[in-house]
Amino acid sequence: MTGTYEHSLDTAGRLIVPSKLRDKLGKVFYLSVGVKKNLTLYPMEAWDRLRARVSELSTTDAAKMDVFFASAQLCEVDKQWRFQVPSYLKDYAGIDRDVVITGNNDRAQIWNAESWREKTREQLNPENIASLLETLGI
C-alpha cells in the first residue's frame, strides 16, 4: 500500500478507509498499535502472516506479544467504508479528530495529523531518501 490520505474521525469515532486503499485492505481487517505511537491497519493476509510468525516463537518470546494481540481490534467496514476506532487505541496514538492514513508496504498506518507532519518535516529530505535507497542497494 502507498499514499498519504488526510481524514477526520466523525463524532461517533469512525474513520473512513481511503478509496485507494480499499482493494488492498479489504472490508475486514485488524487494527492494532503501531511502533511509533501510531496505529496499524493489517489486511487479513498480512495479519495471518504475523500471527503465523508469532506461533513459531518460543512460549517466552511469544508472551512478549500478549499486549500487542490484546490491543488488536477486528474491524469490519460499514456501507460507507467506515470503521470504529476504539478509544483506547485513539488514546495510544494521541488521536482526537484529524488523522493521516499512510500506505506502508503490506499494511497502512494511522497517525495523529500533527505527528505525521512533524515526522515528514524531520525525515523527508534528499539526504534521508538517498540513505534509505542506498541501504536497499538502489
CATH homologous superfamily, domain 4-113: Transcriptional regulator MraZ domain (3.40.1550.20)
| Domain locations in the chain as residue ranges | 4-113
Beta-bridged to residue 41, according to DSSP, are: 31, 108
Residue-wise pLDDT tens digits, 39-73: 999 999 999 999 999 989 899 998 998 989 999 99
Q: Please give the Cα distance from 9 to 7 (Å, whole number).
A: 7
Identify the weakest region by mean pLDDT among 10-14, 53-57, 108-112, 120-124.
120-124
Averaged pLDDT for residues 21-31: 96
DSSP 17: P
Q: Which three cell numbers stand for residue 138?
A: 538502489
Rounded to two decimals, the pTM is 0.88
Q: Please give the Cα distance from 28 to 137 (Å, whole number).
A: 36
* AA identity, residue 42: Y
Q: What is the dihedral of CA 19, 21, 23, 29, to 10 degrees?
A: -120
Q: Grade residue 112 by pLDDT with cuts at 50, 70 and 90.
A: very high
52 close to 65: Cβ distance less than 8 angstroms: no
Give the per-residue pLDDT at 138: 81
